Amino acid sequence: MFIIIQQKGVKEMQISNYIQQSFQVNYAYRVFFTEHIFDPANNTLSAYLQEQASPYYKKRLLVVADEGVWQQHPYLQQQAAAYLTNVPGYELAPEIMVIPGGEAVKNDEALFFRLVDAIDKYAIDRHSFIIGIGGGSVLDLVGFAAAVSHRGVRHIRIPTTVLSQNDSGVGVKNGINYKGKKNFLGTFAPPAAVFNDARFLATLDDRDWRAGMVEAVKVALIKDAAFFEWMEQEVLALANRDMAAMQQLVYRCAELHLAHIGGAGDPFESGSSRPLDFGHWSAHKLEQLTGFALRHGEAVSIGIALDSVYARLLGWLDESAMQRILRLLQQMGLPIYHELLNMQAGAGAPVIKGLEEFREHLGGRLTICLLKGIGQGQEVNDMNVALLQQAGEILRSIHQ
């Protein structure tokens, strides 16, 4: 529709019923790999900060750290404070905020507002930085608080777990849980930079060491058969905490995740396709149903096992490939079954309800990534509940 306005002595003007604007925003960030990041002799972080410094004023730094990291590295708080105080062009906030780690922090709304209040109290503006140190849950919370304060404060991530160094910590998503739904509140806000320090992995307990490896299995299964074969060859070293093998795993996994974010054409997930969430539809529900007693990585391992057996029942995945996947997960010390997979209740089973929640989280049409082969993902838009029940029974028999 056009409205024509004409006045005496004025050129005729046409007015449409809408005006369209289109623009693009470029994002770029680096993932650094280092060791002993706050050692005075290590300039990896300080050199990056000096690149971002202003000649006209001092920028501010606010550090938020996982208390578990501080407990494992009692010298670190003092060392980090000394290191950051000596970076030219910056002023460190007088308080390093130490908060609990683990999934529970993403359920704590009061803690979220404490972070927002600290950003206000210490005058952390949009040219300053919040530095998050910890596992994926802490980084998700810190990133969300940064993203919604002043419409976006820059945040730097220093992931300290296998899971966060190879997956969540290098991505563009932040969020907290709400009303029992994982990551219901969140943003797409890329970090300014990520610093993976391998030394943090050395102090992880065995459970967290193992749980983080599953995201490497996931991305290899949908994108890189050669990487999966490498893990099969190195699984004993990985399970026995060989640091050199773990560093290779973290690097390749992070590389594949970043390549997908930049190369898939949908980094902010405006569509319904999310291949990197292979194995996650049931995992998210299992985490919730167990009150997050299951680690995220453990739940994803079970989800990958379930969807791999399901793909075998569809005739997509051959028996040998399915057995290889289950064997690798078990050799890594990861679970492949939980009693909540007992789906005798059919469509009313608790885990099955995760399909609808996953569709809602994606927006639009249900889209699940399955396997056509190792290294080859394939998306589907519906799941057969009877076959899922059968897949759960097969996993139960293998587990027993």
Q: Which of 203, 220, 246 is the last residue before a domain boundary? A: 203
Are 31 and 192 in contact, with CB atoms under 8 Å apart? Answer: no
Same domain as 277, residue 390: yes
Same domain as 244, residue 384: yes
Same domain as 337, residue 225: yes
| CATH number assigned to the domain comprising residue 217 | 1.20.1090.10
Same domain as 232, residue 141: no
Q: Distance between CA atoms of 259 and 246, rounded to whole angstroms?
A: 20
Q: Which of the pair, 91 or 22, is modelled with greater confidence?
A: 91
User: Looking at residue 26, what is its pLDDT?
Assistant: 83
- Tally of domains in the chain: 2
Same domain as 72, residue 170: yes
* 10 falls within a domain: no
Q: Which of 203, 222, 237 is the last residue before a domain boundary? A: 203
- Interval 344-387: pLDDT, tens: 544 446 788 777 777 776 666 788 899 999 999 998 888 998 89
| CATH number assigned to the domain comprising residue 183 | 3.40.50.1970
User: Looking at residue 264, what is its pLDDT?
Assistant: 65
Same domain as 212, residue 194: no
Q: Distance between CA atoms of 257 and 216, rounded to whole angstroms?
A: 9
- Interval 226-261: pLDDT, tens: 999 999 999 999 999 999 999 999 999 999 988 888
Q: Distance between CA atoms of 61 and 155, rounded to whole angstroms?
A: 10
* 11 falls within a domain: no
Coil vs helix vs strand at 65: strand
Same domain as 390, residue 248: yes
* 154 falls within a domain: yes
Are 142 and 119 in contact, with CB atoms under 8 Å apart? Answer: no
Same domain as 351, residue 237: yes
Neighbours of 126 (CB within 10 A): 11
308: pLDDT confidence band, cut at 50, 70 and 90? Answer: very high
Same domain as 221, residue 116: no
Strand partners, 186: 175
Same domain as 308, residue 185: no
Domain that residue 171 falls in: 30-203
pTM of the predicted model as reported, rounded to 2 decimal places: 0.88
Q: Which of 155, 173, 203 is the last residue before a domain boundary? A: 203
